Chain A
Amino acid sequence: MIEKRLKYYLILPALIIFLGLAIYPLFFALRGSFFIWRYGMSAQFVGLKNYIDLFKSSFAWNALQNTIVYVVLAVFLELIIGLALAVLMNRELGFFRPIVRTALTIPMFVSPIVVGIIWRMIYNPHYGLFNWILGTRGFAPTGNEYALFFVVLADVWQWTPFMYVIILAALQSIPPEILEAGEIDGTTGWQKFIHITLPSISYAIVIALTLRFMDATKALDLIYTLTYGGPGGGTETIGFLIFRTAFNDLNIGSATSFAIIFTVVMGILITRFLGWLNRRFEIV
Chain B
Amino acid sequence: MKRIIVLSLIVVSVLLIAIVPAFAAEKRFDGVTLKVFANSHDPMLKAVKWSIPVVKEKFGIDILMDEAPYGTQFDKAMSAFVAHTGQYDVIVGAHQWTGAWADGGYVIPLDDYIKNDPEFDPSIYVEKAYQINSEWKGKQYALPFNMEGRLMFYRKDIFEKEGFKVPTNRDEWLNIVQSINNNPEYKEKGIWGAVYMYATEQGISYPFETYFQMFDWNSVKTENGFWDENFQICIDKPKMVEAFQYWQDRLNDMPPGVESYNLPEAYQFYLDGKAAMTEVWPLTLYGMLLDPANADLRAKTGTADIAIGYPMSGGWGIFICADSKIQDAAWEYIKFMTNAENDLYFFKEFGKGPSVKATYTDESLKETYGDWLEGQSEAISKAVSYGKIATMSEFYGGNFAVITNQIMTGKLSAEEGVDKLIEELKGILERAGYPQK
B residues with a Cβ closer than 8 A to A are 71-72, 75, 78-79, 81-82, 100, 103-104, 106, 190, 198-201, 255-262, 265, 269, 272, 274, 390, 393-394, 397-399, 401-402, 405-412, 420, 431
Contacts and interface: CB of A to CB of B under 8 A. Distances in A.
A249 B394 contact: yes
Nearest to B83: A39
A157 B407 CA distance: 31
A135 interface: no
Contacts of B259: 140, 143-144, 230-232
A243 to B, nearest CB: 10
A228 B198 contact: no
A232 B408 contact: yes
Contact of A143 (B71, B257, B399): B257
Interface string A74-92: 0000000000000000000
Given A138-B190, A143-B260, A250-B393, A229 B431 contact: no
A249 B260 contact: no
B190 to A, nearest CB: 7
A233 B274 contact: no
A40 B100 contact: yes
Nearest to B106: A40
A231 B393 contact: no
Contacts, number: 119
Find the residue from A126, A232, A250 having the highest chain B CB count within 10 A: A232
A10 interface: no
Nearest to B199: A230
A136 to B, nearest CB: 10
A244 interface: yes
Given A40-B78, A40-B104, A244-B398, A249 B405 contact: no
A140 B78 CA distance: 35
B260 A227 contact: yes
A145 B258 contact: no
A178 to B, nearest CB: 50
Contact of A231 (B104, B190, B198, B399): B198
A79 B79 CA distance: 41
Contacts of A249: 393-394, 397-399
Contact of B431 (A41, A124, A126): A41
A236 B256 CA distance: 21
A125 interface: yes
Contacts of A228: 71, 199-201, 262
A40 B397 CA distance: 16
Interface of A: 38-41, 58-59, 123-126, 137-140, 142-145, 147, 227-234, 236, 244-245, 247-251
Given A142-B260, A229-B200, A39 B411 contact: no
Contact of B269 (A59, A126, A234, A236): A126
Given A230-B199, A250-B393, 8 more contacts: A38-B431, A41-B431, A125-B255, A138-B257, A145-B411, A147-B260, A229-B402, A230-B200
Contacts of B256: 125, 138-140, 143
Contacts of A40: 78, 81-82, 100, 103-104, 106, 390
Contacts of B258: 140, 143
Contacts of B406: 232-233
Find the residue from A140, A233, A245 having the highest chain B CB count within 10 A: A233
Contacts of A245: 398
Contacts of A126: 190, 257, 269, 272, 274
8 contacts: A124-B265, A125-B256, A138-B190, A139-B256, A140-B256, A140-B258, A142-B260, A230-B198
A247 B255 contact: no
B78 A39 contact: yes
A234 B393 contact: no
Find the residue from A41, A227, A229, A250 having the highest chain B CB count within 10 A: A250
Contacts of A232: 259, 402, 405-412
B260 A248 contact: no
A251 B428 CA distance: 11
Contacts of B104: 40-41
A249 B402 CA distance: 11
A250 B260 contact: no
Contacts of B431: 38, 41
A41 B104 CA distance: 7
B75 A230 contact: no
A40 B393 CA distance: 12
A38 B411 CA distance: 29
Nearest to B269: A126
Contacts of A248: 71, 75, 393-394, 397-398, 401
B397 A231 contact: no
A227 B398 CA distance: 16
Contacts of A229: 200, 402
B402 A59 contact: yes
Find the residue from B78, B81, B274 having the highest chain A CB count within 10 A: B78
